Amino acid sequence: MTGATQTTMDTTALKRDIYGLFINGESILSESGRTMNTYNPATGEKLAEVAKASSVDADQAVAAARHAFENGKWKKYPIGKRAKVLHKIADIMRERFNEIVELEILDTGKSLAAAQGQVTQAIENFEFYAGAIVGHRGTVNPMPGQFHNYTEKEPVGVCAQIIPWNYPIMMASWKIAPAIAVGCSIVVKPASLTPLTAIVLGEICSKAGVPAGVINIVPGSGSEVGNYLVEHLDVDKVAFTGSTPIGKDIMASASETLKRVTLELGGKSPNLVFEDADIDAAIAGSLFGIFYNTGQSCEARSRLYVHENVYEEFLHKFVEKTKQLKLGNPFDEGTHIGAIIDENQLKVIDGYVKSAKEDGAEILAGGKPAMIEGFENGYWYEPTVISGVTHEMTVVKEEIFGPVVIIMPFKEEKEAIKLANDTEYGLGSAIWSTNDARIKRVGGAIRAGIVMVNCPFSAFPGTPFGGYKQSGFGRELCIETLDLYTETKSILSYYGQRPINPFGI
């Protein structure tokens, strides 16, 4: 490589004062010498300094990925050998589990339980794809006469992967594991607010045996590095998780070079509680559905619709339980709600709540930034429940990305379905009912990629994750994801004794 500062950095400690770019198997500084700071959202204090990639660095990362793909051995490895490396990545992550969890908490402000669960799933993702690729193969197709046809699955090439700040380690694994499992080379741009565990994951992959150049990590701004990768002629595919407006921009830019694109975008997910539901279970699951990860989830069930016959009971209990949620030290096991990612997002959340008040809605719990003893300089927001809303209100229509839920009653099943679908998004949804026929009807009628039934969880390795409408397209976390990183090649052969002469001349 030329241009980049060739200072190899110590990567034995996951927690360090400065983090480099990870390009062609080396941890290096940016060619420009630029750095950016990352902060602990719980305290507001500087956490570390991170090399800030430029377009020159991004170009070097793409070149390294292209060279590794065209000339390297990774895509030629037998499936079993690639699977063995993916298992080794998981093994190293397990060995360093507590270190990774600590770093994720410091970089995001999320609770201990949330970080532990997400690191665990990141590990399981690599194990899942190590197994999934064994069965990911072409087909032999019936043909007439002396013809024979079969297909092969080939890696699509160099992939740019852009991940968000709300689930850094988990989203990195969602992107990296399937791409390298099928033999692609990748350039990952982590979010500028939370780049640390993605950088560390790249280093761990290298230690596990992924060859140099196959995985490259370039933290930097979306406007410079992200856009550059999307427009780069040597990038074959873009995978993006983030907001719908940015997803639209990426799709438009990628169209110039006809790149393959998958988009996992925003959401405003409905949560339907019917009169025959187990109310206590629905309350517990609905609390998790909106307040998990401090509400900073694309599939957060932020629109809560409850049948009028049980509305008052549900509302009272739900508000009381919301007030019992604990905000505080993210490392305390009893903490339910972590910090908001930064001051700007805190202001965005508070702006939505204030707009709801101005529109005449009622704040039943929370409704303002929180002051946490010992964490006075961090970014915190009270878990907030809003009633008295209409579907025309901004707080009902737009994604808030914080611990804020609106709650409304409904009269009948058809109305519940209409309310659920009255959104431009279509990512997650939840149904609480003990009526199997209703569950099947409503689940089939909701226009969303994920339907959670009597369950607050939306994602396990092997379960397709993705949306309808303006929540994007493509599926992650599942076997189908492998197809998004491969091309299907059809090979048609003739084995007849006589030569084919279609024109007869």
Active site residues: 264, 298
Q: Are strands 26-28 and 21-23 parallel, antiparallel or unpaired?
A: antiparallel
Please state, in angstroms and rounded to a whole number, the distance separating the CA atoms of residues 471 and 6: 41
Q: Is 469 helix (H, G, I), strand (E, B) or coil?
A: strand
Q: Name residue, tokens 């397709």.
A: 464
C-alpha separations of 264 from 174, 237, 246, 317, 346 in Å = 11, 14, 11, 34, 23
> How many other CB atoms are found less than 10 A from the CB of residue 397?
14
Beta bridge partners of 187: 160, 216
Query: 232: exposed, middle or buried (C-beta count within 10 Å: 0-12, 13-18, 19+)?
Result: buried
Give me the DSSP letters along 123-189: HHHHHHHHHHGGG----EE--STTEEEEEEEEE--EEEEE--SSSHHHHHHHHHHHHHHTT-EEEEE
- Contact by Cβ (8 Å): 341, 386: no
Q: Is 275 exposed, middle or buried (0-12, 13-18, 19+ CB in 10 A)?
A: middle
CA distance 481 to 83: 16
DSSP 8-state class, residue 79: H
Taking a C-beta distance cutoff of 8 angstroms, is the pair 122, 171 a contact? Answer: no
Dihedral of the alpha carbons of 423, 427, 432, 438, in degrees to the nearest 10? 80
Q: In sequence order, what DSSP letters do the residues of 307-318 get, joined into one string?
A: ETTTHHHHHHHH
Neighbouring C-beta atoms of residue 502, cutoff 10 Å: 5
For residue 436, how many other CB atoms are within 10 A of its CB?
9
φ, ψ of residue 494 to 5 degrees: the values are: -120, 130
d(CA 228, CA 36): 19
- Could you tell me the CA-to-CA distances from 253 to 13, 59, 229, 292, 505 in Å, in that order? 38, 17, 10, 34, 49
Question: How deeply is 360 buried, as exposed, middle or buried, from its count of CB atoms within 10 A (0-12, 13-18, 19+)?
Answer: exposed
